[in-house]
Amino acid sequence: MARLAAGDSDALEEIYQATRVKLFGICFRILGDRKEAEDALQDVYVNLWQRADRYDPERASPISWLATFARNRAIDRLRTGKVRGGAVPVEEAAPLPDETPLADALLIDAERNAQIHTCLNTLDEKAQKYIRSAFFEGNTYAQLAEKADVPLGTMKSWIRRGLMRLRACLEASE
Per-residue pLDDT in tens (0 to 9) along the chain, 174 residues: 778 778 888 888 888 888 888 999 888 888 888 888 898 899 888 888 888 888 777 777 888 888 888 888 888 888 876 655 555 555 555 555 666 666 666 677 778 888 888 888 999 999 999 998 888 888 899 999 999 999 999 999 999 999 999 899 988 877
- pLDDT for position 94: 54
- pLDDT for position 146: 94
- pLDDT for position 95: 58
**Claim: this prediction has a pTM higher than 0.75:** no
C-alpha–C-alpha distance, residues 96 and 166, integer Å:
40
C-alpha–C-alpha distance, residues 66 and 21, integer Å:
12
Domains and CATH numbers, the chain: 2-92 (1.10.1740.10), 103-173 (1.10.10.10)
35, burial (CB in 10 Å: exposed 0-12, middle 13-18, buried 19+): exposed
Which parts of the chain fold into alpha helices (H)?
2-5, 9-31, 34-51, 62-80, 103-120, 125-135, 141-148, 152-173
Distances (CA, A) of 25 to 19, 56, 131: 10, 24, 38
